[in-house]
Amino acid sequence: MSEKRGGLEKLIYDFNTAKAVYIKNQVGKLIRITERDFRSYNGERFILINGVYEQYDGPIYYHNTNIKCNEPIGENKIQYAHDKPWVSIRRPHENYLVDPTKNQACSTIP
Residue 106 lies in a domain: no
Residue type, 80: Y
User: Cα separation of 31 and 45, whole Å?
Assistant: 10
Please state the domain count of the chain. 1
Number of other residues whose CB lies within 10 A of the CB of residue 63: 19
pLDDT for 61 equals 92
Q: Is 93 exposed, middle or buried (0-12, 13-18, 19+ CB in 10 A)?
A: exposed
- In a domain, residue 68? The reply is yes
Per-residue pLDDT, 76: 83
Q: Determine the pLDDT at residue 80.
A: 80
Instruction: Flag whether pLDDT at 1 surpasses 60.
Output: no
58 or 4, higher pLDDT: 58
Evaluate whether residue 18 is within a structural domain. Answer: yes
Tell me the pLDDT band of 18, cut-offs 50, 70 and 90. very high
Q: What's the rounded Cα separation, in Å, for the pair 64 and 67?
A: 9
pLDDT of residue 27: 86
What does each C-alpha distance from 81 to 2, 4, 18, 60, 73 come to in angstroms? 17, 18, 26, 12, 10
33-92 pLDDT tens trace:
999 999 999 999 999 999 999 999 999 998 888 989 888 887 888 888 776 665 656 666
- 92 domain residue, yes or no: no
Domain membership flag for residue 97: no
* Domain containing residue 34: 2-82
Bridge partners, residue 52, by sequence? 49
